[in-house]
Amino acid sequence: MVEQEVTIENKLGLHLRAAAVFIETANKFPCQVFLRKAGQEKINAKSIMGIMTLGAACGSRVTVLTDGENEIEALEKLAALIRNRFGEKE
């Protein structure tokens, strides 16, 4: 299992559309993917409902965790996606 902490930088936070984009990327990898917000339990990040329960607004710190086949590549891709604001303008 590998992990990396990133900050949610897009203005709208981890909202429904961003969550969908995140899952689409996560589903490309066979490994398990989780997200964790400080002080909370980790959630299955291949579940849109799970991501929405995080309530990660702009400025939140979240940890991406990947476990299994291709975990390192998956972690890099997913962390980069968050840093790139899920492809949103702001």
| Euclidean distance between CA atoms 9 and 30, whole angstroms | 27
**AA letter at 29:** F
Q: Do the beta carbons of residue 64 and residue 75 sit within 8 Å?
A: yes
Can 83 be counted among the known catalytic residues?
no
Which residues contact another protein by CB under 8 A? 11-17, 19-20, 23-24, 44, 46-50, 52-53, 55-57, 90
Minimum distance from CB of 56 to another protein (Å)?
A: 8
| Euclidean distance between CA atoms 87 and 90, whole angstroms | 9
Minimum distance from CB of 46 to another protein (Å)?
A: 7
Catalytic residue among 15, 18, 33, 79: 15
Active-site residue list: 15
